[in-house]
Structure 1
Amino acid sequence: MRRTGRPRGGDGRDGAAPAAAPTDTDTLPAMKNKVKGATLGAAVGVGVALVGIPAGIWALGFTAAGIAAGSVAAKMMSAVAIANSGAVPAGSAVAVLQSVGAAGFSLGAKIGLTSTLGPLGAAAGAKLFKGQDKPGDKPK
């Protein structure tokens, strides 16, 4: 069998319809939607890192004034103290959460969290964002 150098199928001569090449007018709105989704996702990821996680730690009862009475943090501290003969060991989850609750994240932790959660949010936003490809289209 001799090769002729031309592509097989899809050229209209063998009964198959020629493949339509995507045009800029077809792909540009879809790409804009992905960029919008990625931007929104990155903003959500960074917001979670800088605001959501510290707010969640505070809501558990790890505050700047100490562990709030009757909170989840107080129950955690009690359990750790009972397990360790009345002391809360340095480096334990309770100690680390109290440190974050009292002083916030260090600069290194903020950089690490935002550099991890920002791109994760961007990837999720680009993948999940569903909008209109063309004016007049129904949302997907």
Structure 2
Amino acid sequence: MPRGLFTIIGVVTGAVGAAVLAPVALTAAGFTSAGIAAGSLAASMMSSAAVANGGAVAAGSLVAVLQSAGAVGLSAGLTTAVASVGGAVGAVFGGTADWFSGHSKSPSPAEDDDYNEEGDVDEDFEVQRAYAIEKLALHNSHGRL
């Protein structure tokens, strides 16, 4: 499986899923096209916002923006923001899946550049390894690490 495939799948799934499910989540929270549903999370948020602002919900507040989105749908900018957050979350999950899939097994000799066709460690790799060990020993002897 190509490296990074799960990350790509995660970004696309997260972005599309968030954009599609955001209106459903707004309605479930009580931000409906008919207004705020009584007894809902939205009603509780509106009540708290009104108490904090002396009896009115401030324009541009979170409650006002969510109610607007629930009433008329998400604007293009809000849809982009929701999709971006969903894509970022999907990238984290996909990247994690990529990391685990790449670390769950040792690479076969055919997949690893450090091996030759017979499956033995490549001579160039051994030379580079010896050089790195020598250089590390030199740094350690001078107290630089």
* 1:110 matches 2:79: yes
- SS of aligned partner of 1:40: helix
TM-score (norm 2): 0.58
Identity %: 45
Amino acid at match of 1:95: A
CA distance in 2, matches of 1:73, 1:115: 24
Residues in 2 aligned to 1:84 and 1:116: alpha-carbon distance in whole angstroms? 29
Higher relative contact order (CA 8 A, sep 6+): 1
The offset of 1:33, in angstroms, is: 5.5
Tell me how large the CA RMSD over aligned residues is: 2.6
Range 115-124 or range 42-51, more displaced: 115-124
Q: CA separation in 1, counterparts of 2:45 and 2:89?
A: 30
Deviation for aligned residue 1:119: 5.0
Match among 3, 9, 12 for residue 40 of structure 1: 9
Q: Deviations along 1:41-89, whole A, 9 cap, x unmatched? A: 0222113430233322221100111000111111111122223232111
The residue aligned with 1:14 is none
Give the Å deviation of 1:133.
Answer: 6.9
The residue that corresponds to 2:37 in the other structure is 68
Partner-residue secondary structure (3-state), 1:105: coil
Structure 1 outlier segments of 4+, above 6 Å = none
Counterpart residue type for residue 62 of structure 1: F
- How many pairs were matched up? 103
* 1:77 corresponds to 2:42: no
**Richer in helix (by share):** 2
Structure 1 partner of 2:129? none
**Aligned position for 1:94:** 63
TM-score, normalised with respect to structure 1: 0.59
- Letter of the structure 1 residue corresponding to residue 82 of structure 2: L
